[in-house]
Amino acid sequence: MLIDSHCHLDYFTPMELPSVLERAHVAGVGEMVTIGTTMVQSAKLPAITEAFPNLWCTVGVHPHHAAEAPIPTPETLAEMTRHPRVIGIGESGLDYFYDRSPRDVQAANFRANIQGAQLAGVPLAIHARDADDDIATILREETDRGGAFTFLLHCFSSSRALAEAALLLGGFISFSGILTFPRSSELRAIARDVPLDRLLVETDAPYLAPVPFRGKRNEPGFVAHTAKVLAEVRGMTPEALGDLTTANFRRLFVKTACG
């Protein structure tokens, strides 16, 4: 079985979603995590998970939306994780490529999401784009301040230096369809070297569809194509890679291992 550790199922219409989930099932994808990006949107995600038993969700504020509303308190975020289908916080982080929110606001929001994860004892899904040094610095500072916490760098396409910094702090690395792109040889080299017990796969659907669907709308079933390439990079069978990443997912998202 494969698990899509990061997707945005609320981007599909209620009429589309059952078919999307059925195609995922046919592709061998047993579970999916739909991700929070704003507080208003995050509050709606548990209802989606309640309608489908193989779905989980996170709650949090994406850096693009950090300036759109008051930054949530860590306590508020932690309280939202009390729902049994909410298994993490995020996605949050820094995005200096689009810079849709002021960088100081992004940083304050990122720290609030980290602190919420620390309070709740759940993992944080991190968005990192063109902000490697500041991501690493904040992760170290918040670890020193509040103690170690679990996290993953989602849709990883950053530098080897950020991957190594995250791994030293106990982080996981999740690879998306970008791994399958012809020009992603450097990323595949990083994927080859990540410890086996820190690997995850995802789609980030509806974005970033893998080869051979590049340019089309992505969906959770396509994670099988990313997993196939990752298996080739690691010299594993797709079945072994599926078993590995599923076991890693259960260790990271502890609530899912408890049903």
Query: 153 to each of 27, 104, 202, 246, how far by Cα in Å?
Result: 25, 20, 11, 17
Lookup result for tokens 């199922």: 9
Average pLDDT, the chain: 97
88 SS3 class? strand
pLDDT in tens, 160-214: 999 999 999 999 999 999 999 999 999 999 999 999 999 999 999 999 999 999 9
In degrees and rounded to multiples of 5, residue 109 shows phi and psi of -65, -45
Concatenated DSSP letters of 169-232? TT-EEEE-GGGGSTT-HHHHHHHHHS-GGGEEE---TTS-PPTTSTTSPP-GGGHHHHHHHHHH
- Read off the pLDDT of each residue in 2-6 and give the average, rounded to a whole number: 98
Q: What percent of the chain has pLDDT over 70?
A: 100
Domains assigned to the chain: 2-257 (3.20.20.140)
Distance between CA atoms of 110 and 91, rounded to whole angstroms?
Answer: 9
Measure CA 74 to chain center. 19
Task: Decide: pTM greater than 0.85.
Answer: yes
* Secondary structure of residue 36 in the 3-state scheme: coil
pLDDT at residue 258 in the model: 77
Among candidates 130, 175, 126, which has minimal Cα distance to 149?
126
pLDDT value at 39 more than 90: yes
Rounded Cα–Cα distance for residues 181 and 232 (Å) = 14
Phi/psi-derived region of residue 148, left when phi > 0, alpha when psi is between -120 and 50, beta in every other case = beta
End-to-end CA distance of the chain: 16
The continuous run of DSSP H or E covering 68 comes out as: none
Residue given tokens 């990192």 in the structure block: 128
The pLDDT assigned to 31 comes to: 98
Cross-strand partners of 150: none
Q: Is the pLDDT of residue 259 over 70?
A: no
pLDDT in tens, 7-19: 999 999 999 999 9
99-133 pLDDT, tens digit per residue, is 999 999 999 999 999 999 999 999 999 999 999 99
Quick one: average pLDDT of 56-62?
98
Q: Is the peptide bond before 91 cis (omega within 30 degrees of 0)?
A: yes
Measured CA to CA, the distance from residue 10 to residue 237 in angstroms comes to: 32
Query: Per residue in 75-87, pLDDT tens?
Result: 999 999 999 999 9
Peptide bond into 212 cis (omega under 30): yes
pLDDT on residue 257: 86
**Strand partners for 174:** 200
